[in-house]
Amino acid sequence: MSEVKQFKTETKRLLNLMINSIYTNKEIFLRELIANASDAIDKYHYLSLTDETLEKRNDYKIELSIDKENRTITISDNGIGMTKDELINHLGTIAKSGSKEFQEKLEHENVSPEDEREIIGQFGVGFYSSYLVADFVEVNTLSPYSEISYRFTSDGIEEYSLEESDKTTIGTTITLHLRENTEDNNFDEYLDQFTIKTLVKKYSDFIRYPIMMECVTEQPKLDDDGNPTDEYVETISTETLNSMIPVWKKNKNDVTREEINEFYKNKFYDYLDPLDYYQYSVEGNITYTALLFIPKKAPYDLYSNKYEKGLQLYTKGVFIMDKCKELLPDYLRFIKGIVDSSDLSLNISREMLQQDKQLTKIATNLEKKVIKHLQELQNDEPEIYKEFFEALGINLKFGIYNSYGEKNDLLKGLLMYKTLKSDTLISLEDYVREMKEGQKYIYFASAETKEDLMSMPQMDALKKKEFDVLLLTEEVDEFVLQILQKFDDIEFKSVNQGDLDLLSDEEKESAKKLADEKQDLLTKIKTALSGKVKDVVISTRLTESPVCLVSGDGISFEMERVMNDLPNGSNIKAERILEINPNHPIFKVLENIQDDKSKLTDYASVLLNQALLLEGFKVENPNEFIEKMCNIMIEATNIK
């Protein structure tokens, strides 16, 4: 009895997309199906370690066969198989989170055909990629947890059928009925054993289980004396198409970059080549081999709580688990890769892993190695390092931030910033090396772009002195500098916080004198702004602009903004200090009107609002601000 079921709507959309896909790289279907077969064997093996009811086996294999007459390709494995429910949930529905995400992306975003291709590549659509080349697919499968084997069939359009199957061995067999050839696509090429062999070599060489196929070879017929004749005989033999040696076990010199890239994309579902990879072995106290990758771009879900960090763990080449999170600190969550160690027991469970001393040792060693590698990259291949830092550097900042200083020494050298003078990233070491004589601090400013930075009034004096300023663009930046406090014993200083200490002794002297002289005026302005600012002072940092707002020594304006943006935002306020430029014509105006209390109050309030605007805050009371501005304009022109 066969049951006919409808595909879920979202599955239908995806299938429709696959069928009509402009996706040129149709050959990936084989890689996807082989990967599924290999995963299924992994699962069987892993379960059989703990589940007594599963027979222990050592005949794992994946078999391919081609039937030219019926135009079919069959991929068969002796892995875990699927129960009826699993068939429905895994093949009848988009189960894989990647495909779901993919679906959402397509639905919510205006996706061009090119993007579409990228997205398909990015998520890898697994089983459904069969429909890139087949218009009818048959799956026969038997799970050790089911008495009955099942057959799933579908043309991949609307519906699929389920019925009992006559399969008697545990595992899954998938038969693809190839599409008719079209002008643009010759599907017959997949019936050619040479094509299949090449594809397996290209995409699946490292698969740990033998991928076997009956191959026909032609050999010259021998005559009675054993010499070759002009006639040929066909011999059929079963060949293993893959080398089964995982890339990380191969001799480094025998592995091409291309092979590594393919391995990475295949294994970690990335559509881009990795930015960098790092392969090494450690022997001695602990023994392990690692093959680690830095992606070009942050995975789309890296910063969501759905993202699972971790490395694939093997022991002596046998798969243990997919994402061993104990191996990576949080701030290296973007690293993908594999660790193979002979020190771990084969049937180690997840719970045991957490306390495993060997594993902790590996993790500690691995962190050091990765940091060292990043340092080398920074020195030896600065362009690649910059690309890395642009894409993923924020994670290192979180490393400092989240460890409350414990990782300062490890990570501070790796930080990179754009600056007032440099449009490309430079390190703190570079900054310090280029510091001007007499410069006492490493200056920084929070701004979205360099243009914003340049237009900050506080920059005037620094520009004049030719001191460089770190441009901070990320929320976490100021917090990181606050935790670091110093680099090379030089303190960090925000350009809009407290005293910048830019003056020579002489200049300080005359500034102090000026401040004393004008103290009266300053006090009056402060009174006029009562409650709105902590202080009003003569500025030593402004050259062009009339006023600016700086914060006291506590938290900065940027931190105030970040903290108030938090979900349960605190109502923390940075201290506000209004600085007035004594060399700006407005200063004379203020001196002139200082005895007219109501005028001074209006002028002071307008100036404070200007300073707020420059700092990126809102004016306190827009109506009042506008009214005052208008009054001042009317008065200035004397037209009534």
Residues that bind ligand ADP (CB under 6 A): 36-37, 40, 77, 79-82, 90-91, 95-96, 126-128, 172
336: its two tokens? 């993908």
Query: How many CB atoms are located within 10 Å of the residue 77 CB?
Result: 27
270 neighbors 264 (Cβ within 8 angstroms): yes
User: Least separation, in Å, of the C-beta of 38 and ligand ADP?
Assistant: 9
Looking at the Cβ atoms of 11 and 315, the one nearer to ligand ADP is 11
User: Least separation, in Å, of the C-beta of 401 and ligand ADP?
Assistant: 34
Looking at the Cβ atoms of 96 and 534, the one nearer to ligand ADP is 96
Looking at the Cβ atoms of 92 and 274, the one nearer to ligand ADP is 92
- Could you tell me which residues come within 8 angstroms of residue 101 by beta carbon, excluding any fewer than 6 positions away? 123, 300, 301
User: Least separation, in Å, of the C-beta of 36 and ligand ADP?
Assistant: 3
Looking at the Cβ atoms of 166 and 234, the one nearer to ligand ADP is 166
User: Least separation, in Å, of the C-beta of 197 and ligand ADP?
Assistant: 21
Looking at the Cβ atoms of 139 and 547, the one nearer to ligand ADP is 139
In terms of C-beta density within 10 A (0-12 exposed, 13-18 middle, 19 or more buried), how is residue 154 classed?
Answer: buried
Q: What angle do the packed helices 557-565 and 476-484 form, to 10 degrees? A: 120
User: Least separation, in Å, of the C-beta of 204 and ligand ADP?
Assistant: 14
Sequence-ordered alpha helix ranges (H) in 381-503: 382-392, 394-402, 408-411, 428-433, 450-454, 459-465, 476-484
In terms of C-beta density within 10 A (0-12 exposed, 13-18 middle, 19 or more buried), how is residue 93 classed?
Answer: middle
Looking at the Cβ atoms of 96 and 508, the one nearer to ligand ADP is 96
Distance between CA 502 and CA 483 in Å, rounded?
24
User: Least separation, in Å, of the C-beta of 147 and ligand ADP?
Assistant: 17
User: Least separation, in Å, of the C-beta of 30 and ligand ADP?
Assistant: 13
- Distances from the Cα of 360 to the Cαs of 237, 328, 331, 363, in angstroms? 47, 10, 16, 5
User: Least separation, in Å, of the C-beta of 42 and ligand ADP?
Assistant: 10
Sequence-ordered alpha helix ranges (H) in 325-449: 350-355, 357-380, 382-392, 394-402, 408-411, 428-433
400: its two tokens? 């400092």
Cα dihedral sign, 93-95-98-100: positive
570 neighbors 517 (Cβ within 8 angstroms): no
Looking at the Cβ atoms of 60 and 388, the one nearer to ligand ADP is 60
Q: Which amino acid is at 477?
A: D
Looking at the Cβ atoms of 61 and 361, the one nearer to ligand ADP is 61
Q: Which residue is nearest to ligand ADP (CB)?
A: 126
User: Least separation, in Å, of the C-beta of 608 and ligand ADP?
Assistant: 59
Cα end-to-end distance, the chain, whole Å: 95
Looking at the Cβ atoms of 91 and 536, the one nearer to ligand ADP is 91
